[in-house]
Amino acid sequence: MKVYCELLHRLLAGEDESTQIDILGQLAPFITEGCVMEILCRIAIETESHCVREAAIKRLKFHPVKANCCFINHARPGENPMVRRGALICLALMGCTTAKEVILKGLQARSFAVRLAASLNTGLYYDRDALDAFEHFREFKKK
């Protein structure tokens, strides 16, 4: 069995936070192997631990294009709102500036959690569309 398979198994088994962070560090050399990137993205999206998310993002930033594509796919309308929320948070943490379409759609979502996560990204876009969408979000939030 490949080394990273055992590490992925342990990561997905629900180890404690400290162990998960350690495993994420050990997985760094294998990020381009098999499904490692997809699983790290999934961990970053689904975890409630800020420390675990930060550790996953730290590793994913070495391959931002592929990681951002994964996050964009999970941030699209039709996904579970909590998955969209997590993906939008990850896009903000990655500093992604190629996800404008999903950010704008996220700002119009029914779920407040999705809209709030999308709003974290608006400062990455310096254009009228993003500013207008954020203003709409702010006005909608006040109602």
Tens digits of residue pLDDT in 39-84:
999 999 999 999 999 999 999 999 999 999 999 999 999 889 999 9
Q: How confident is the model at residue 20 (pLDDT cuts 50, 70, 90)?
A: very high
The sign one gets for the Cα dihedral 77, 11, 53, 29 is: negative
What is the overall mean pLDDT for the chain?
Answer: 90
Q: Do 96 and 124 meet the contact criterion of CB atoms below 8 Å apart?
A: yes
- 34 band by pLDDT with thresholds 50, 70 and 90: confident
Give the contacts of 27 (CB within 8 A, at least 6 positions apart).
4, 7, 8, 11, 36, 40, 59
CA distance 128 to 81: 26
Q: Are the C-beta atoms of residues 19 and 38 closer than 8 Å to each other?
A: no
In this prediction the pTM is: 0.89
Domain residue spans of the chain = 1-62, 78-143
Q: State the Cα–Cα distance between residues 41 and 115, nearest whole angstrom.
A: 20
DSSP at 98:
S
Return the percentage of the chain with pLDDT > 90, whole number. Answer: 66
DSSP assignments along 85-113, one per residue: HHHHHHHHHHT--S-HHHHHHHTT-S-HH
Per-residue pLDDT tens over the stretch 89-120:
999 999 999 999 999 999 989 999 999 999 99
